[in-house]
């Protein structure tokens, strides 16, 4: 695929790519923006090349996922080496380090779903996001996740079951 055509196709996937980057980064918009930018740079610099073995969306989502994993490992390595003062510990009051409450932005049902999804195992959460939010097949999700279709299907089924149980528990307790 030529550079201009690849750029047009990636541009058409940008909104979905942003959603996937957010999912890969624990809904942290700042980290997701960095990861997505790094993924685009990998493509532009030729470090990630589309070979045509999968759909462009599947391939690019894999690039985003791997980039997010690399960034997470990099942050963990830095955090382990950094001193408490370099990490900013003690400088920020505990109350200001919390993420803003988004309850007002979301409906109650969406908030319950987000809480329930967050409690799932990472692979279950990934496959459900890819299938439901990104409207990919289980086979495409498997390719992005780097697992077999059977494994992805198992994570999908377990994830749906666990999500249903958690949502039911949440309704009972509220």
Residue 10: partners with Cβ closer than 8 Å, 6 or more residues away: 17, 40, 43, 56, 60
Q: What is the CATH number of the domain that holds 110?
A: 1.10.10.10
Q: Can you give the pLDDT at residue 81?
A: 72
One domain, residues 104 and 65: no
Q: How many domains does the chain have?
A: 2
State the CB neighbour count (10 A cutoff) for residue 34. 16
One domain, residues 111 and 157: yes
pLDDT tens-digit map of 31-68: 999 999 999 999 999 999 998 888 999 999 999 999 99
One domain, residues 18 and 79: yes
Q: Can you give the pLDDT at residue 22?
A: 92
pLDDT tens-digit map of 5-26: 988 999 999 999 999 999 998 8
One domain, residues 122 and 38: no
Q: Can you give the pLDDT at residue 111?
A: 79
CA distance 104 to 168: 22
Q: Can you give the pLDDT at residue 82?
A: 65
* Domain boundary, last residue among 41, 64, 99: 99
Mean of pLDDT over the chain: 84
CA distance 140 to 168: 29
One domain, residues 93 and 105: no
* Domain boundary, last residue among 57, 82, 99: 99
Structural domain boundaries, residue 151: 100-174
Q: State both tokens at 134.
A: 């990104």
Q: Can you give the pLDDT at residue 73?
A: 80
Q: Can you give the pLDDT at residue 104?
A: 47
One domain, residues 117 and 62: no
One domain, residues 58 and 121: no
Query: Are the CB atoms for 37 and 29 separated by under 8 Å?
Result: no
On the question of pLDDT at 142 being above 80, the answer is yes
pLDDT tens-digit map of 61-106: 999 999 998 988 877 677 667 666 665 655 444 444 444 554 444 4
Which residue do the tokens 């685009």 mark?
40
């Amino acid at each position: 695929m030529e550079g201009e055509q690849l750029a047009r196709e990636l541009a058409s996937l940008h909104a979905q790519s942003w959603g996937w980057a957010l999912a890969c980064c624990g809904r942290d918009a700042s980290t997701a923006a960095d990861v997505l930018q790094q993924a685009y740079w990998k493509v532009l610099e030729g470090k990630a090349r589309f070979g045509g073995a999968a759909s462009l969306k599947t391939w690019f989502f894999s690039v985003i996922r791997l980039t997010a994993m690399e960034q997470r490992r990099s942050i963990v390595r830095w955090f382990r080496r950094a001193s408490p003062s370099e990490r900013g510990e003690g400088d920020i009051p505990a109350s200001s380090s919390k993420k803003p409450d988004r309850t007002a932005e979301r409906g109650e049902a969406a908030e319950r779903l987000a809480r329930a999804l967050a409690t799932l195992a990472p692979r279950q959460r990934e496959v459900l996001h890819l299938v439901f939010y990104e409207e990919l097949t289980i086979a495409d999700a498997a390719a992005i996740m780097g697992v077999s279709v059977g494994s992805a299907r198992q994570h999908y089924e377990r994830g749906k079951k666990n999500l249903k149980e958690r949502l039911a528990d949440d309704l009972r307790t509220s």
